[in-house]
Amino acid sequence: MRPPKDNVVRRIIWLDVRAVLLCVLCSLYTGCATGTDLRSVSPPDTTIRQEAVQFPGVDGLLKGELFLPVRGSAVAARHPAVVLMHGCGGMYTNRGRLTERHRDWAQRFATWGFVALLVDSLGSRGLGSLCELQKRPIQPWEERTRDAYATLDYLAARPDVDRQNVFVMGWSHGGSTVLGVVRADAPGLRGDGPRFKAAIAYYPGCERPLRAQHYRPTIPLLMQHGMADDWVPATPCAALASRLQGQGFAVATILYPEAHHGFDTPGSPVRFLPRVYNPASPGGRGAHVGTNEPARLKAIEDTRRFVERYMTR
């Protein structure tokens, strides 16, 4: 998809990171002349309802957690929607509760007037965390991309969803999934099926699309990454965004200083995970994760502005 010719302010920042000249594109959408102010979408008396759902996937039934904006006693018709793709650790804690990051984002989108659906790619297949595995049984550009499109099909068929305004967002392994979802040849994408409106990827792995010279996104894409991420480094994503921008695609990478992997998780002090598989580490194991509150708040605002820019009424 080619970028719209309107009031888009683009800023290119050149950073010297360990002798690597890094081109970072930070797109800030000023005004919202052709977009929607999310703060005006959901009335002040809106509450949030959470439901467990299941629906057909390619490999069997997929399970998920649905968050619905409710006004009074009824769910209003035709909300925009977002598919949320978890990382390698899944979307639940060891006690079976949604993690703070996933709950926070799902509730946030619901307060913005969205139907938000967290799809459980791991639990639906009887799998646990993949983070310590070098060889993983499901992959971002294969099974998980099909999961995203199966979830889109489910949402598009719901009477309370505006199928023209369904977004997709993911973190880490789920962020890499988003980079697979936006391809024209993405598995699970049907020629006559619904399409995602735009895509958001938090700290995805960008090496694969960067190596693929013919990688082309078909919808607007925002990547958000911490500059201190030692698990999934930001440099390849910045390089990918620079290349695609040079080719005229609506792609942006926003980098957040001093932010580690998982920086948008609320209230999670930075800690070191010694056992996670990490190809970016000399020993192949270990990474830092945790909150950076200034980056988290800025990232929320950046996500909101991006969604406003591309959502239509």
Q: What's the rounded Cα separation, in Å, for the pair 254 and 220?
A: 14
Residue 49 has pLDDT above 70, yes or no: yes
| pLDDT score recorded for residue 209 | 97
| pLDDT score recorded for residue 201 | 99
| pLDDT score recorded for residue 27 | 40
Q: What's the rounded Cα separation, in Å, for the pair 65 and 53?
A: 6
All domains in the chain, ordered by first residue? 8-310 (3.40.50.1820)
Q: Are 4 and 277 contacting, i.e. CB atoms less than 8 angstroms apart? A: no
For 233-254, the pLDDT digits (tens) are: 999 999 999 999 999 999 999 9
| pLDDT score recorded for residue 29 | 41
pTM: 0.88
Q: Are 40 and 308 contacting, i.e. CB atoms less than 8 angstroms apart? A: no
Q: What's the rounded Cα separation, in Å, for the pair 228 and 252?
A: 19
| pLDDT score recorded for residue 35 | 65
Q: How confident is the model at residue 170 (pLDDT cuts 50, 70, 90)?
A: very high
| pLDDT score recorded for residue 182 | 98
DSSP H or E segment with residue 150: helix 143-156
Q: How confident is the model at residue 280 (pLDDT cuts 50, 70, 90)?
A: very high
| pLDDT score recorded for residue 245 | 97
For the ranges 30-44, 87-101, 109-123, 191-205, which has the lowest average pLDDT?
30-44
| pLDDT score recorded for residue 42 | 60
Q: Give residues with Cβ within 8 angstroms of 106, minimum separation 6.
A: 65, 67, 84, 98, 116, 118
Q: What is the mean pLDDT of residues 182-207?
A: 97
Mean predicted lDDT score pLDDT of the chain: 88
For 136-151, the pLDDT digits (tens) are: 999 999 999 999 999 9
For the ranges 30-44, 165-179, 249-263, 294-308, which has the lowest average pLDDT?
30-44
Q: How far is CA 135 from the centre of its chain?
A: 23
| pLDDT score recorded for residue 33 | 37
For the ranges 18-27, 95-104, 105-114, which has the lowest average pLDDT?
18-27
Burial string for 185-217 (b: 16+ CB within 10 Å, else e) reads ebbbbeeeebebbbbbbbbbbbbbbbeeeebeb
